[in-house]
Amino acid sequence: MKQYSDLEYLRLSKGQKFTYKLTSFFTAIPRGIGHFFANIGLYIKKGVTGVGSELKDIGSTFVNGDWKTKTSFVVMGFGNLARGQILRGLLFLFFEVVFIAYMIFGGAHWMSMVPSLGKVGPSNEYDPVLDIYTTVYNDNSFKILLYGVLTIFFIVAFIYTWRVNVRQNKIMEQILRSGKKLKADKDDLRSMVDENFHATLLALPMTGILVFTVMPIVFMILVAFTNYDGSHNGYSNNLFTWVGLDNFNTLFSWTGGAGGGQSYSATFGEILAWTLIWAFLATFTNYFLGMFVAMMINKKGIHLKKVWRTVLVMTIAIPQFISLLYVSKMFARNGLINLSLMDLGWIKQPLPFWEDATWARVTVVLINIWIGIPHLMLITTGILMNIPADLYESARIDGANAWQQYRKITLPYMLFITGPYLLTSFTGNMNNFNVIYLLTGGAPTNPAASGAAGSVGYTDLLITWLFKITTGADSQYYLASVVGIMVFVVVAFISLVVYNVLPSIKNEEDYQ
Amino acid sequence: MNQKRHMGLKALNRASNTAIYILLIIISVVWLIPFVFILLQSFRVESTYQVGYVIPHQWGWQNYINLWNSDFKRWYLNTFIIALASAVLVTVIQLCMSYTLSRFRFKLRGPLMRFMLILGMFPGMLTMIILYRVLSDLGLTQANAVPGLILVGVASSGMGYYVSKGFFDTIPKSLDEAARVDGATRFQVLYKIILPLSKPIVIYTILTAFMGPWGDYVFARYVAMGTSAGYNVAVGMYSWLTNDQIARMYTTFCAGGVIVAVPVTILFLCLQKYYVEGVTGGAVKG
């Protein structure tokens, strides 16, 4: 496609401008995907050459190093200890001792079990003393996988630390050779609140993220390749084991599910479509209506600005589960709205807010507007006030009406500033568990999807479906993690495309 | 002529202002009315299920007395403990994280932020299964759910650094540099210069960390696994609105809603200024 310069672009007619924008958006998508794969290739190349040069450096350190350095290859921290850096040396040594002890007293055992995820399941064995049969629990697939992941993390950490240990020896030799003095322990401690302060600050948060977010995610990705479910819980009934890509095949197969309903892939497709529609509607209705409310309150000549704002802001404070649950019951078949409308004689039958697919979907979006507008009002108020007033002034002098001012000044400015926010709020809405689950619980049930795990409904998002799968009768954890991986793929794809199109994300430093 | 046009504009402006006032009044009513309804229904004595009118025929404290006699006290205490603990710990962790990522330029900064961005794209719900099993191995589920919930909530809170990082980004770096030239350590820069300037974001973070647990439902339900002593208010009160309980507990739910919402709302309104500053200062830039 032809790329226009700014000047050429301005000369285009309105229609041409529109088609240009549209085509450039869509041509950006394959470009974004291309970038993505090119980047992956680049990373791999960088990784391979990186490992090569690291190995070379390690080798030359060993060959050129003195006996202290050479000993450090086996006894970590020896070089530091021998050269007077007691604190660092002890830390290295301590880590090595802990690592070796862990590997001997468990790590190696768990690692050796990972390929099979356990061989001997629970069995009934005769107890001659008590004269009864008792269940003996043997291998535990869950623990094997969990500790397997932990051990892999530990090994990676050990290799990294060992590498740091080797590099430090090299650096120490260089410093000593040039006749300078090494850092004392005192300086090391001081650097923790000075040049290495960032490491001190990040230590605790990153440990938490590593243990309670990264490890579980790695674990759950691995579960997608096993048959871990309620009847293979890996411990008290059956062991679970690796099944390769079988679960992905199940999700993408076109044959009908077990209950005689439609196939998993049809169900998945339907839910994905609704998830995307929902995320789009939820994001943009909130965005434009919230902006509209903020503009009304901001308008010159409107009094009591603070009161209007406080009324809306107050609704943010009330925990969502109260408002969502209450409103959900308000719209129920025998809820306040239906009952009072019937008492008034306006309707004969209760309105099917939660019983009809279309009604339920529309109601969910409307209630979400009620939930979301106060947030958007707050966010947009600040930005709206930042738009330079002279822009509007000169537009007025040129005779622009309110709508033109909005179209040409307010909206472009807002979209530019809030671009990243719109993206996160879109992906956030895709995973908006609370609103859907507390309002409808996914209802009304979709009878065609009865074969799929969990009772799938017309308002179910992928994320609520995932929850239903894990808590459903069969607890098909493996399927849940396949769905979770798919959610990731979709979110990552959308983010990637948008990142390559949006101008305001690209350069973080420009904004500071 | 010109005078006339001016008059016309003025009339138009007045008309549009009136329209806006009407709209704003409608909006205020629509936004507040469910909460007024909850309040009114919490005082209804004559029936405990859903009815077609709002103003009680018979007023009384019966629902609040029921509340006092139920497990609600325990749930409230649980939630309060969780909220208090996260208000302290989450704030510390998030501020450490966001301050570091905003202020320091170190080798792993870029990869780290990209890594966490990708991590955030995984649905957090996915990790519930394993976290539940780990917590249950540690004995921190069911009746002991409170420490478990605190642990998991605090440990992964570093991921939510975006808002406060956006705020720290707005404090000029020249302040840090001037202090560094004068010989202050990085720690002193944080403690003596940045923190005093960051009162809005500190209060914002404390406030959001405190309010979060009051609405926490999914994981809390998972961890409590049907043991009432380990419920928080959201899980407990949700159970009152299930099909077999709603006819007996609907008005009690309303009373519970009032008891939960009133203190949180008052706290929020007192600190509203900081919340607004945090949202407008940090949330958008991300």
Structure ipTM = 0.88
Distance CA B138, CA B136 (A): 5
A454 band by pLDDT with thresholds 50, 70 and 90:
low
d(CA B206, nearest CA chain A) in Å: 14
B285 chain-A contacts, CB cut-off 8 A: 420, 511
pLDDT at A95: 92
Query: For residue A456, is pLDDT > 90?
Result: no
The DSSP 8-state label assigned to residue B131 in this structure reads: H
pLDDT at B12: 78
Distance CA B21, CA B27 (A): 10
d(CA A28, nearest CA chain B) in Å: 21
Residue A121 is which amino acid?
G
Residue A297: φ, ψ to 5°: -70, -35
Interface of B with A in 231-250 (CB under 8 A): 233-234, 237-238, 241, 246, 250
Q: Considering only the beta carbons, identify the residue of A216, A322, A484 that sits closest to B260.
A: A322
Q: How many residues does chain A have?
A: 512
pLDDT at B83: 93
**Residue A136 pairs with which residues in a beta bridge?**
A123
**Domain-located, residue B204:** yes
**How many Cβ atoms sit within 10 Å of the Cβ of residue A257?**
20
A42 touches B at CB < 8 Å: no
A319 touches B at CB < 8 Å: yes
Interface of B with A in 116-145 (CB under 8 A): 116, 118-119, 121-131, 133-134
Interface probe with A: pick from B54, B130, B156, most Cβ of A within 10 Å: B130
**Domain-located, residue B191:** yes
Helix B233-240 crosses helix B199-215 at what angle (to 10 degrees)?
Answer: 30
**CB A20, CB A9: distance < 8 Å:** yes
Domain count, chain B: 1
pLDDT at A263: 79
CB contact under 8 A, A326 and B254: yes
Distance CA A106, CA A110 (A): 6
User: Which tokens sit at A87?
Assistant: 């604190």
The residue-averaged pLDDT of A340-365 equals 87
List pLDDT tens digits, range A7-47: 777 777 777 777 776 677 677 667 767 777 888 888 889 88
Interface probe with A: pick from B89, B93, B125, B211, most Cβ of A within 10 Å: B125
**Domain-located, residue B58:** no
Interior CA angle at A160 toward B95 and A50, to 5°? 105
Nearest CA in chain A to B92: A205
A401 touches B at CB < 8 Å: no
A364 CB-near residues (< 8 Å, 6+ apart): A278, A435, A436, A439, A440, A459
Nearest CA in chain B to A202: B97
B259 sits in which H/E element? helix B246-270
B275 chain-A contacts, CB cut-off 8 A: 313, 316
Distance CA B18, CA B28 (A): 15
pLDDT at A265: 83
Tell me which residue of A192, A447, A470 sits closest to B125, measured CA to CA. A470
Residue A248: φ, ψ to 5°: -65, -40
Q: In which region does residue A219 sit, left (phi positive, over 0), alpha (psi from -120 to 50) or beta (all else)? A: alpha
Which domain range does residue B263 map to? 71-283
Give the C-alpha distances (Å, rounded to integers) separating A497 from A23, A432, A494: 14, 21, 5
A432 touches B at CB < 8 Å: no
CB contact under 8 A, B31 and A198: no
The DSSP 8-state label assigned to residue B250 in this structure reads: H
The structure tokens 């019983």 sit at A355
Interface of B with A in 148-207 (CB under 8 A): 151-152, 154-159, 162, 169-170, 173, 185-187, 190
Residue A211 is which amino acid?
V
pLDDT at B118: 87
Tell me which residue of B153, B155, B122, B232 sits closest to A463, measured CA to CA. B122
Q: How far is CA A469 from the centre of its chain?
A: 19
Residue A36: φ, ψ to 5°: -55, -50
**Domain-located, residue B17:** no
* SS3 of A291-338: HHHHHHHHCCCCCCHHHHHHHHHHHHHCCHHHHHHHHHHHCCCCCHHH
**CB B265, CB B80: distance < 8 Å:** no
Intervals of chain B under pLDDT 70: 1-7, 281-286
**How many Cβ atoms sit within 10 Å of the Cβ of residue A301?**
9
A394 touches B at CB < 8 Å: no
User: Which tokens sit at A67?
Assistant: 């006996």
List pLDDT tens digits, range B146-177: 899 999 989 989 888 888 888 888 888 888 88
Interface of A with B in 163-222 (CB under 8 A): 190, 193-195, 197-199, 201-202, 204-206, 208-209, 211-214, 216-217, 219-220
**How many Cβ atoms sit within 10 Å of the Cβ of residue B178?**
13
d(CA B224, nearest CA chain A) in Å: 14
**Domain-located, residue B9:** no
Query: For residue A64, is pLDDT > 60?
Result: yes
Average pLDDT, chain A: 83
CB contact under 8 A, A194 and B28: no
Residue A35 is which amino acid?
H
> Strand ranges (DSSP E) for A142-196?
none
B82 touches A at CB < 8 Å: no
CATH code of the domain containing B215: 1.10.3720.10
The structure tokens 């041409």 sit at A16
List pLDDT tens digits, range A465-482: 888 888 877 788 888 899
Query: For residue A103, is pLDDT > 60?
Result: yes
Structure-derived torsion over alpha carbons of residues A233, A237, A238, A239, reported in degrees to the nearest 10: 50
**Domain-located, residue B76:** yes
List pLDDT tens digits, range A110-124: 888 888 887 777 777
pLDDT at A257: 52
A452 band by pLDDT with thresholds 50, 70 and 90:
low
**How many Cβ atoms sit within 10 Å of the Cβ of residue B3?**
7
Interface of A with B in 48-87 (CB under 8 A): none
pLDDT at B1: 46
**Domain-located, residue B108:** yes
Residue A42: φ, ψ to 5°: -60, -45
Cis ω before A30 (30° cut-off from 0): no
Residue A68 is which amino acid?
K
A463 chain-B contacts, CB cut-off 8 A: 123, 125
CATH number of A264-504: 1.10.3720.10
User: Which tokens sit at A330?
Assistant: 């308000």
